[in-house]
Amino acid sequence: MTSPEGQKGLSDLLLHPYPSPQHRKDTLMLYGEHLLGALPLDVIELTAQRVPVGVAYVLPYTQPTQPSSKWAEVFRIELLKSVQDSNVQEQLLVYLYTLSQQHPFLFQQVLQLHGNALKQRAVEDEQVYRLLIHHFVFETPLGRITLDEHFKHSGHLRYITDPHQYQQIQRVAAAQQHLILNVAFDQDAALLARYHGFYPESSVDALDAGQYADLLPAIEVTGNWLETAQSLLAPQLVQVEVRHFQPAHLPALLVASEAHLKFRHQNPARTSPVVQAMVKELMSQGQLPAMRLVLNHAHPLVQELTLIQDQAVLEEVLKMIYLQARMLGNLPMGETELQMASGGLQQLLVWGLQATRFRDVN
């Protein structure tokens, strides 16, 4: 609410005759610049029973302090007299809708500057939600898009709320052209969690990295090498499977739930044969949060695994695939993984020297 002097000045501006609507708007914008210290993005005239009762200025900056009202992070509202909040909100929503239809560039400016505040309003208010939800921008492996753009490509809305889970599958999802939404911010997650309730005909799923991996085509494999891989990596709480996905140059995708990472952090030592056997048994019963090493059947090296006859070579290849997948997934390397990498590198050097001596002899 303006001061008495400010109210008189605003009243004079609203009641003054102008030669054109543009002159009127320009004058009100200059008054807003005086109030805000910067030229507002836009001005909305507020009315009650068709009589001017105030203005709402679209703020040209974000509010650094806790707002005094629900819309104060987006608009500076100046009223000549008391007006019901519902009446003001209705006019602001009409303004936002009109802006989206007739002035898309300015509408995008408002969303970019006040996106967080408007998302919070949408979480709290169904009217705001329905008006703005399809205009909000979300991150995907293919770039930032609105829900409106998303539904032009896919009718199925899938999203991941944990940034670490999203990071694990981002590269593979991009290669598959999968629009998986990254909603790591609380407001984004809350918005999408409400979507199906407002649009019951929609298909919406919240995923983690493992559930995304389930979307990739599974491959049946022959030979005993997969059993070797399972036994080799069981102490690391890793289950091994084969699926077909892009990019073909990526030999494996490693997905780990937050529960798995927490368990590994709390139980770093699992080296004794007794503990390894217990861990393997519990994993087979689904009682431990296992990590999943998803081997990529599109990669030539994975296809060659069935042809490796030397057990030691097979094990070292599997270890290197696992370690590479761990690094590419930005997952922490513990003492066990560092020892595995060191031992594998030494073994490769030994084999290389042996091969050189064999070649020299022959």
Predicted TM-score (pTM) of the model is 0.83
d(CA 99, CA 89): 15
Q: What is the pLDDT of residue 237?
A: 85
Q: What is the pLDDT of residues 304-348, one digit of tens each?
A: 998 888 898 899 999 999 999 998 888 888 888 888 887 777 777
Q: What is the pLDDT of residues 99-127, one digit of tens each?
A: 999 999 999 999 999 999 999 999 999 99
Please say if the pLDDT value at position 263 is more than 80.
Answer: no
Q: What is the pLDDT of residues 60-72, one digit of tens each?
A: 998 766 666 789 9
More confident residue, 348 or 203: 203
Q: What is the pLDDT of residue 264?
A: 60
Using 50, 70 and 90 to split pLDDT, how confident is the model at 279? low
Please say if the pLDDT value at position 289 is more than 70.
Answer: no
Using 50, 70 and 90 to split pLDDT, how confident is the model at 261? low
